[in-house]
Amino acid sequence: MRTEYDTLKLDRDGEHVLIVSLNRPEFANALNTQMGLDLRDLWRDLYVDQDGVRCVVLTGTGSKAFCAGGDLKERNGMTDAQWQRQHAIFEQLVLTMLDVPPPIIAAVNGAAYGGGCEFILASDFAYGARSAKLALTEVTLGIMPGAGGTQFLPRAVGIRRAKEFLLTGTPCTAAEALEWGIFNKMCDDSNLMDEVLVTAHRIAGNAPISIRQAKKALNVSTQIDMKTGYAFEIEAYNRMVPTEDRQEGIRALNEKRKPTYKGK
Please report, for the domain that includes residue 57, its CATH number: 3.90.226.10
Distance CA 77, CA 235 (A): 50
Say which residues have a Cβ less than 8 Å from residue 125's Cβ, sequence separation at least 6. Answer: 103, 105, 106, 184
Same domain, 141 and 199: yes
Confidence of residue 81 (pLDDT cuts 50, 70, 90): very high
Q: 13-22, 70-79, 128-137, 157-166: lowest mean pLDDT where? A: 70-79
Q: How many CB atoms are located within 10 Å of the residue 141 CB?
A: 13
Mean pLDDT, residues 66-90: 94
Q: How many domains does the chain have?
A: 2
Annotated catalytic, 15? Answer: no
Amino acid at 233: E
pLDDT attached to residue 111: 97
pLDDT attached to residue 136: 97
- Give domain status of residue 217, yes or no: yes
96 pLDDT above the threshold of 90: yes
pTM for this prediction: 0.94
Task: Name which of 58, 11, 63 is nearest 196 in CA terms.
Answer: 58
pLDDT attached to residue 1: 81
Amino acid at 40: R
Task: Name which of 261, 223, 226, 231 is nearest 244 in CA terms.
Answer: 261
pLDDT attached to residue 202: 97
pLDDT attached to residue 105: 98
Annotated catalytic, 26? Answer: no
Helix (H) or strand (E) holding 150: helix 149-157
What confidence tens digit (pLDDT) does each residue in 173-223 have?
999 999 999 999 999 999 999 999 999 999 999 999 999 999 999 999 989
Q: Which is catalytic among the residues 4, 26, 91, 138?
A: 138
Q: Which is catalytic among the residues 15, 26, 74, 118?
A: 118
Q: How far is CA 94 from CA 8, 38, 132, in A?
A: 16, 12, 22
- Average pLDDT score, the chain: 95
Same domain, 161 and 147: yes
Same domain, 156 and 218: no
Encode 146-179: b = buried (16+ Cβ within 10 Å), e = exposed: bbbbbebbbebbeeebbeebbeeeebbebebbbe
Q: What percent of the chain has pLDDT over 70?
A: 100
Say which residues have a Cβ less than 8 Å from residue 16's Cβ, sequence separation at least 6. Answer: 52, 53, 54, 55, 201, 204, 208
Confidence of residue 63 (pLDDT cuts 50, 70, 90): confident
Same domain, 75 and 175: yes
Same domain, 162 and 230: no
